[in-house]
């Protein structure tokens, strides 16, 4: 199984900050890496797919990069609605599909 | 518009089974794989398995082999996830999630159900 490790597990930031979350795969997954945002009591929402493609309707302050084993999600200028938990997910090798453990972004 | 609507919350005793439904609308049901993902309270996302609504074939995560059964009803565009021999550790929100494509290498979960809370308690 491919293990996905996110860092940090939690992060405190302010509105307007630039924030970067990292996801590392235990083996190469090419660009088969997706990012989701989850708010309390809600289903996850797709932000970025294929490592760097912005899902329709997602604000351009979100961006993704990386390939192989190392990936990043960047929020260029934090907005109040961005405080949530973020998960990476690999779709390169399955089963199983695996997620990172999550990064909680808080004020 | 695409919608995945799940059945309501359940409370079960240890050892019992639960069956959660996910009704799809707004797209051709048999053209997209459906997955089940669960989330224990305060924990991360855990993939449980996938069903092909077209032929009904399934693949389950090893952890759930022997305890989970995923089925579908094409007449109602509904997929089901049944989990048996429930224990307290199965208390979680269970989500269905549509996979973006059956034909491309790069895929993702583009639509999710609202989640179904299953509580296992004596």
Closest partner CB to B112 (pick from A44, A95, A101): A44
The helix/strand count (H/E) of chain A reads as 0, 11
What number of other Cβ atoms are within 10 A of residue B63's Cβ?
13
Quick check: B97 pLDDT over 90?
A: yes
pLDDT tens digit string along A58-96? 999 999 999 999 999 999 999 999 999 999 999 998 889
pLDDT (0 to 100) of residue B101: 84
Q: Indicate the burial class of A58 (C-beta count within 10 angstroms; 0-12, 13-18, 19 or more).
A: middle
pLDDT tens digit string along A10-53? 999 999 999 999 999 999 999 999 999 999 999 999 999 999 99
pLDDT tens digit string along B102-117? 788 788 999 999 999 9
Short-list B83, B45, B81, B48, CA closest to B62? B48
- Look-up of token digits 């990069």: A65
Provide, as residue numbers in chain B, all residues whose Cβ is less than 8 Å from the Cβ of A95: 47, 49-50, 59-62
Provide, as residue numbers in chain A, all residues whose Cβ is less than 8 Å from the Cβ of B109: 34, 36, 44, 46, 89
Please answer yes or no on whether A99 and B61 come within 8 Å at the CB atom.
Answer: no
Closest partner CB to B106 (pick from A31, A43, A94): A31
- Annotate B31-86 with DSSP letters as a single string: GS-EEEEEE-TT---EEEEEE-TTT--EEE-GGGTTTEEEEEETTTTEEEEEE-S-
CA distance, residue A71 to nearest chain B CA (Å): 16
């Amino acid at each position: 199984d491919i293990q996905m490790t996110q860092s940090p597990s939690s992060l405190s930031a302010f509105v307007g900050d630039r924030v970067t979350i990292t996801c590392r795969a235990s083996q190469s997954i090419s660009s088969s890496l997706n990012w989701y945002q989850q708010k309390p009591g809600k289903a996850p929402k797709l932000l970025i797919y294929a490592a760097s493609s912005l899902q329709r309707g997602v604000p351009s302050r979100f961006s993704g990069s990386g390939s192989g084993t190392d990936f990043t999600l960047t929020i260029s200028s934090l907005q109040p609605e961005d405080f949530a938990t973020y998960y990476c997910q690999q779709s390169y090798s399955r089963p199983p599909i695996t997620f990172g453990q999550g990064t909680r972004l808080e004020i | 518009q695409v919608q995945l609507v799940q059945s309501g919350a359940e409370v079960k005793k240890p050892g019992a089974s639960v069956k959660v439904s996910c009704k799809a609308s707004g797209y051709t049901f048999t053209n997209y794989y459906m997955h089940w993902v669960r989330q224990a309270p305060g924990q991360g996302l855990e993939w449980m398995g996938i069903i092909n609504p077209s032929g009904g074939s399934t693949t389950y995560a090893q952890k759930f082999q022997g305890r989970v059964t995923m089925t579908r009803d094409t007449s109602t565009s509904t997929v089901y996830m049944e989990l048996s021999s429930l224990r307290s550790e199965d208390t979680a929100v269970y989500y269905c999630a549509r996979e973006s494509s059956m034909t491309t290498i790069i895929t993702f979960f583009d639509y999710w159900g609202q989640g179904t809370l299953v509580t296992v308690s004596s």
